[in-house]
Amino acid sequence: MLRRLSLRLVLAVALLWAAGSLGFVMTQLAPGDAALADVGPGAVEAREALRARLGLDAPLSVRYQRWLTGVVQGSLGHSVLFERPVVDVLRERMVNTAALALAALLVGSLLGVPLGVYSGTHPSAIGTRCIRGASALFVSIPSLLLALVLVLVSARTGWLPVGGMTGAAAASSLLGLIIDRLSHLTVPALALALPLAAMLEHTQAQAMADVSSMRVIDGARARGLSRRAAVWRHAWPLSLGTVLPVYGVLAGSLFGGAVAVEAVTAWPGLGRLMLDAVRARDAALLAGAAMTATALLAVITQGIEALAAWRDPRTGTDA
């Protein structure tokens, strides 16, 4: 057990190093630099001074060594774009992305799981056909496109704000603040949640069909339970062995989708931060964001794996 944990820890550190290094080096190799973006092409002296201040006049190997030394010592460096420590910027954005991802996960689960249970246990109902059709639609639409459609719908209807995380006017009460946040969260969360719900529905339906074939429901009903109780109390828990591991995969696609959705909906999260960092050639910020996203993904994947192992100890062994 200890050996296994150690191995995973080493792998996690290697993954973080690879993600950060790749982000840092690729940004530094791209043409143009932060000084150019800041002072423009005309002011030559000011640009050279800024390059020197930011350390951009040193060779790439020296810049990389400085950055890596900082990381080993616990510092992710200084953001050129925000003129602040990278850690401070990441802390703010991580919370925003986490809020968005959790909301999407919650909405996706609340939609996908019950619909999957229904369609898995009512294979020939017309409702199931509708659900399957919608699932097929949302699974095949990328989050970026869905975000654009939702933004367009919001714009045409005026029902929801089309960008940002909060309104320009400060909320005057707690209730107003909550409503403001929720209204801004709806579009990006739905853009991520609907494909997620479709995938969950599909997996859950398959798992329920498999469990149903084990005559679990018939047995429970023979003992006097209603059909609904038999499904939810006996069949559904058994299906989780198949559904829970899928969350690990979904977490990955969630982060991938978040980059595009955050850009379209102006949600100030890690994904949009990475885009801004690339545009501004902020190597330390991009490396830090890549490492944070990798770490978050690793933690979520491991957490889900642990949950699945707890649910079914057979899935936790290496054998």
Residues that bind other proteins (CB under 8 A): 30-33, 36-46, 48-50, 53, 81-84, 89, 92-93, 96, 126, 130, 151-158, 161-169, 263-266, 268-269, 272-273, 275-276, 279-281
Nearest distance, CB of residue 222 and other proteins, angstroms: 26
Nearest distance, CB of residue 18 and other proteins, angstroms: 24
Burial 71-84 (b: 16+ CB within 10 A, else e): beeeebbbbbbbee
Q: Could you tell me the smallest distance in angstroms from the CB atom of residue 35 to other proteins?
A: 10
Q: What are phi and psi of 84, to 5 degrees?
A: -140, 165
Which residue number, 216 or 261, has a Cβ lying nearer to other proteins? 261
Query: Which residue lies nearer to other proteins by CB, 12 or 141?
Result: 141
Question: Is the CB of 141 or the CB of 263 nearer to other proteins?
Answer: 263
**Within 13 Å, how many C-alpha atoms sit on residue 123's CB side?**
8
Residue with tokens 């898995």: 120
Pick 71 or 264: Cβ nearer other proteins: 264
Between 164 and 303, name the residue whose CB sits nearer to other proteins.
164
Q: Are 221 and 260 in contact (CB under 8 A)?
A: no
Smallest distance, other proteins to C-beta of residue 163, A: 5
Tokens of 75: 């510092």
Cα(194)–Cα(190) distance, rounded to whole angstroms?
6
Could you tell me the smallest distance in angstroms from the CB atom of residue 15 to other proteins? 27
CB of 263 to other proteins, least distance (A): 6
Identity of the residue, 86 or 308, whose beta carbon is nearer to other proteins in the bound complex? 86
